[in-house]
A and B are shown apart, each in its own frame.
Chain A
Amino acid sequence: MGFFIETMLGGLMTGMLYALVALGFVLIFKASGVFNFAQGAMVLVAALAMARFSEWANAALGGDSLFLANVIGIIGAGVVMFIVAWGVERFVLRKLVNQEGATLLMVTLGIAYVLEGLGQTFFGSEIYSINVGMPKDPVIMFEGLIEGGVMINKEDFIAAALAAVLVGGLTIFFQKTAIGRALRAVADDHQAAQSVGIPLNKTWVIVWCVAGLVALVAGIIWGSKMGVQFSLVTVALRALPVVILGGLTSVPGAIVGGLIIGVGEKLSEVYIGPMVGGGIEIWFAYVMALIVLLFRPQGLFGEKIINRV
């Protein structure tokens, strides 16, 4: 029993981290109708900027204050993400008002390569580390409830809590505020949004900034877990089935999707894995996404696709 719960909790924490990356996809899709393939590259750039800026700041400060160095790193990375958002709007999206979704999708593929290249040019292509003082040691919990207790990685726990707060805040921002409504309006219909006085340019910068900040949080957490290196880009690939499962238009969907896939992966690896020789974790998420697509093309929580004939 203890082992089952432990596996499940581990899955939930990993799932929360997937959800964090998935959130970046959902935000941009909700607010501009674009499936953003560059999300993984944005996570990489954010993590690289954070790692290098805090490293440089630490060296400049003589290693006195890790906290201050990290703050400088986060601010620096935030500025970089703002520049990315502004650049994407100014040089790419502005030329593509009222274009088809497929065109915009291809453009984000291009943006991904540019960002990956530029990021490594500016910040280097070695493996760097981010140390934001996350506790690495595991703790034992629920000792009173279950015999032997449940072992939880503290780092995962903090990361999951952080992700949950971010998600809650963004949900309110999108559903309850005027700017959130304006963002959804732009995603739905460019022309109509302009007719009620919503400026497209500013809106896009805001959306990409928010997605950039989410990428930064994801980059810091994943980066401190597994080091800042090019393979961070593939984290976005792991988040892809999460978005499909949860629905591209739903912030809560990204969370639930992440949790389902995180738990599913771990449980299947532990309990079904041995029967088929293991390795399930790698493809399990994609199979689940495929099954969901067959029955609910809009995902579990996505907006229903209404077609009037």
Chain B
Amino acid sequence: MNMTDMNPAAVAQPGRRFGDVILDLQNISLRFGGVKALTDISFNIREHEVRAIIGPNGAGKSSMLNVINGVYHPQEGKIMFRGEERKKMEPHMAAQQGIARTFQNIALFKGMSVLDNIMTGRNLKMKTNIFQQALWIGAARNEEIAHREKVEEIIDFLEIQHIRKTPVGALPYGLQKRVDLGRALAMEPQILLLDEPMAGMNVEEKQDMCRFILDISDQFGTTIVLIEHDMGVVMDISDRVVVLDYGKKIGDGTPDEVRNNQDVINAYLGSGH
């Protein structure tokens, strides 16, 4: 069966197609001392898809994301990025490979304006060196202007024009989440990792965020990996879902497959049901 048939968002945009596997996680195990955070987890992420990782609290979702992002280094298992085995790396190297992320407990640069925050996302794209910048000569200035244009596009896209000069520390939570997303988008990532993008939001903010995520997928073709524990939201916008529980994978498939998986139902509702 063709997977696009099952997803309303994908059907609405017939142009969207899943590509090859971009990231393949093979038998990942992660321990902190004696605590097993992840045990023998394998799944893959295909280009252009919206891939969700769900599970109850403490299931290992954030650990998984941090493995992909290069913050944690699994003791066992392999990570294949575009067919090549990835070596042990630091988070900024993941960024250089085109992996951007947002944070569950927003990690913005609080003293800086919305504009400057999003501009930091362009950092890797800037080619002028420190001496050119220090002297503030032509090349550096032109580059700054070019990137500024790109950032303005993102600001328009996320509908935050009215707050572009505001220091982010002064913004309400929902808007901070949006700026966090904007900063990641400014990197023009190949893979966008979203750590609980809807956490703590009201219904309206959640709807906005869903819309943005689907628009990013449609317009930019970005591969999106999303962590959520709000099942409803995930089922609506994801193409495929991985379910974790106690650090183990208990389900993997389309939203419908996962919804009808007995292990998943047990994990979420308790095995008595």
Q: Are B111 and A196 in contact, with the CB atoms below 8 A?
A: no
A199, closest chain B residue (CB): B92
Q: Are B136 and A188 in contact, with the CB atoms below 8 A?
A: no
User: Per-residue 0/1 for B68-92: is the Cβ within 8 Å of any A Cβ (1 yes, 0 no)?
Assistant: 0101000000000000000000111
Q: Which A residues are CB-close (under 8 A) to B203?
A: none
Q: For the complex, is A182 an interface residue (Cβ under 8 Å from B)?
A: yes
Contact pick for B107, options A180, A189, A303, CB 8 Å: A189
B116, closest chain A residue (CB): A181
Q: Which B residues are CB-close (under 8 A) to A125?
A: none
Q: For the complex, is B169 an interface residue (Cβ under 8 Å from A)?
A: yes
B122, closest chain A residue (CB): A178
Q: Are B101 and A178 in contact, with the CB atoms below 8 A?
A: no
User: Per-residue 0/1 for B121-132: is the Cβ within 8 Å of any A Cβ (1 yes, 0 no)?
Assistant: 111101010100
Chain B proximity of A192: nearest CB distance (Å): 4
Q: Which B residues are CB-close (under 8 A) to A206?
A: 130
- Sorting the interface of chain B by its residue count into under 10, 10 to 19, 20 to 34 or 35 or more gives 35 or more
Q: Which A residues are CB-close (under 8 A) to B136?
A: 172-173, 176-177
Task: Name the interface residues of A244-291: CB closer than 8 Å to any CB of B.
Answer: 249
Contact pick for A192, options B109, B122, B167, CB 8 Å: B109
Q: For the complex, is B265 an interface residue (Cβ under 8 Å from A)?
A: no
Q: Are A188 and B126 in contact, with the CB atoms below 8 A?
A: no
Chain B proximity of A165: nearest CB distance (Å): 13
Q: Which A residues are CB-close (under 8 A) to B130?
A: 179, 206
Q: Are B144 and A196 in contact, with the CB atoms below 8 A?
A: no
Q: For the complex, is A62 an interface residue (Cβ under 8 Å from B)?
A: no
Contact A195 B124, CB 8 Å, known A172-B136, A184-B111, A188-B112: no
Contact A249 B100, CB 8 Å, known A177-B134, A199-B92: no
Q: Are B167 and A306 in contact, with the CB atoms below 8 A?
A: yes
Q: How far is the CA of A206 from the CA of B123 in the complex (A)?
A: 16
Interface size on A, residues (CB 8 A): 30
Q: For the complex, is B140 an interface residue (Cβ under 8 Å from A)?
A: yes
Q: Which B residues are CB-close (under 8 A) to A179?
A: 130, 133-134
Q: For the complex, is A162 an interface residue (Cβ under 8 Å from B)?
A: no
Q: Which B residues are CB-close (under 8 A) to A304?
A: 167
Q: Are B123 and A198 in contact, with the CB atoms below 8 A?
A: yes
Q: For the complex, is B226 an interface residue (Cβ under 8 Å from A)?
A: no
Q: Are A177 and B140 in contact, with the CB atoms below 8 A?
A: yes
Chain B proximity of A210: nearest CB distance (Å): 9
A189, closest chain B residue (CB): B107
Q: How far is the CA of A178 from the CA of B136 in the complex (A)?
A: 10
Majority SS of interface residues in chain A? helix
A184, closest chain B residue (CB): B112
Q: Are B140 and A303 in contact, with the CB atoms below 8 A?
A: no
Chain B proximity of A6: nearest CB distance (Å): 37
User: Per-residue 0/1 for B88-127: is the Cβ within 8 Å of any A Cβ (1 yes, 0 no)?
Assistant: 0011100110001101000111111000100111111010
User: Per-residue 0/1 for A144-177: is the Cβ within 8 Å of any B Cβ (1 yes, 0 no)?
Assistant: 0000000000000000000000000100110011
B95, closest chain A residue (CB): A197
Contact pick for A182, options B69, B123, B169, CB 8 Å: B123
Q: For the complex, is A231 an interface residue (Cβ under 8 Å from B)?
A: no
Q: Are B144 and A178 in contact, with the CB atoms below 8 A?
A: yes
Q: Which B residues are CB-close (under 8 A) to A200?
A: 92
Q: Are B120 and A193 in contact, with the CB atoms below 8 A?
A: yes
Contact A197 B134, CB 8 Å, known A177-B144, A191-B103: no
Contact pick for B111, options A177, A194, A198, A303, CB 8 Å: A303
Q: Which A residues are CB-close (under 8 A) to B91?
A: 191, 194-195
Q: Which B residues are CB-close (under 8 A) to A95?
A: none
A residues touching B (Cβ–Cβ < 8 Å)? 169, 172-173, 176-182, 184-185, 188-189, 191-200, 206, 249, 303-304, 306, 308
B residues touching A (Cβ–Cβ < 8 Å)? 69, 71, 90-92, 95-96, 100-101, 103, 107-112, 116, 119-124, 126, 128, 130, 133-134, 136, 140, 143-144, 147, 167, 169-170, 183-184, 187
Given A181-B116, A196-B100, A306-B170: 17 more A-B contacts, CB < 8 Å: A172-B136, A173-B136, A177-B144, A178-B123, A178-B128, A178-B140, A178-B144, A188-B111, A196-B123, A196-B124, A197-B92, A197-B124, A199-B90, A249-B111, A303-B167, A306-B110, A306-B167
Question: Which 4 interchain pairs have the tightest Cβ spacing?
Answer: A197-B95, A188-B109, A192-B107, A194-B91
28 A-B pairs within 8 Å (CB atoms) are namely A173-B134, A176-B136, A178-B119, A178-B126, A178-B133, A179-B133, A181-B119, A182-B120, A184-B111, A185-B109, A185-B120, A188-B108, A189-B109, A189-B110, A191-B71, A192-B109, A192-B183, A193-B109, A193-B120, A195-B103, A196-B100, A196-B120, A196-B187, A197-B187, A198-B92, A198-B123, A303-B111, A306-B110
